[in-house]
Amino acid sequence: MLLHVVKDYEAMSREAARLVADRLRSKPSLVLGLATGSTPLGVYRELIRMHIEEGLDFSKVTTFNLDEYVGLPPQHEQSYHHFMDEAFFRHVNVDRRYVHIPDGMASDIEGFCDWYEEEIRRHGGIDVQILGIGANGHIAFNEPGSSLGSRTRIKTLTERTIRDNARFFNSAEEVPRYAITMGIGTVMDARELVLLATGVEKAEAVRAAVEGPITAMVPASILQMHRRAYVIVDEAAASRLSCQYVRELTGLPTTEPRLRR
C-alpha cells in the first residue's frame, strides 16, 4: 500500500486521473474498474478534460462498475447507470458495448453475479480499479463483516450506509436496502487499486484502513495486502494518521516506500 497525501480534493482528483491516463496511454485496451459517489467525480471531470483537450482515447477501454442498487432501473436518476452516463460516459468516446454495470433489475441476481465475474475474467481481469471508502470502512457495498474473499453478490446495506446515501434521495426511506456489489476478493484481483478519500469525515476510516489491523470489520484494510494499492487522500482525510507512507505516483512501485514519522 502506497499512501499519497495531497493538499485538497482537486489535487487528489488530478493525481488519480493522471495515473489512469498514464496506464491508458500505455495500454489503449485498458480494463478499468469504476466507482460512483461524490468522491470520484473530480477524477471523471479531469479525465473528460484530458479527452477533450489532450485527445485521451477511451475507444478501446472496457469498464466494470463496482455496484448498483437492487430495484432501480437504469433510467432512474439515482441509479448508478444514470450516474455514470451523466458523470462520465456521455462525455468521452467510450464504446457502450464495452461498458459493464451490475443489473439491479435482474430476475436471477445470483446468476447475473456469476455472469459478471465471468465477464471480468473473459476480459483478462481489471487493470486499474478506482475505489472510494465509506465512513465505516466499506469499499463498494462490502459492509463491515463482509468476507475478505467474497465475490460479486447481493448485499444488505447497513443503516449507516443508508443514512450516508440518503443525501442523494428525498429521504432515507427511498434508499434501496440491497445492492449488487463486486466482492472484496473480486476487487483484490485487480492489478492496481486506487482508493480515494477526501474530507475529515473520512479520516477515521482512512486511519483504520491504512494503520489498523486487517479485519473484515474494516473492509478497506485488506488493501494493505495488495502490492499495487495507491491510497490518495487530501490533508483532511489524512488528519488522523500517525505516520505517512508518501510516494510520488510516477509509475509502478519498485521498492517498499520509506516510513516517515
Residues noted as catalytic? 67, 136, 138, 143
Q: What is the dihedral of CA 115, 78, 59, 23, to 10 degrees?
A: -80
- Residue 246 dihedral angles phi and psi, to the nearest 5°: -115, 125
Backbone conformation region of residue 135, classed left if phi is above 0, alpha if psi is from -120 to 50, else beta: alpha
CB-based contacts of 85: which residues, under 8 Å, 6+ apart? none
DSSP-derived secondary structure letter, 139: B
Q: Which three cell numbers stand for residue 249?
A: 505516483
Contact predicate 214/177, CB 8 Å: no
3 state SS of 233: strand
DSSP run (H or E) holding 98: none
Q: Which three cell numbers stand for residue 18?
A: 493522471
What is the spatial distance between Cα 13 and Cα 243, in angstroms, rounded to a whole number? Answer: 22
3 state SS of 34: strand
Angle subtended by helix axes 41-54 and 9-26, to nearest 10: 50
DSSP run (H or E) holding 161: helix 159-165
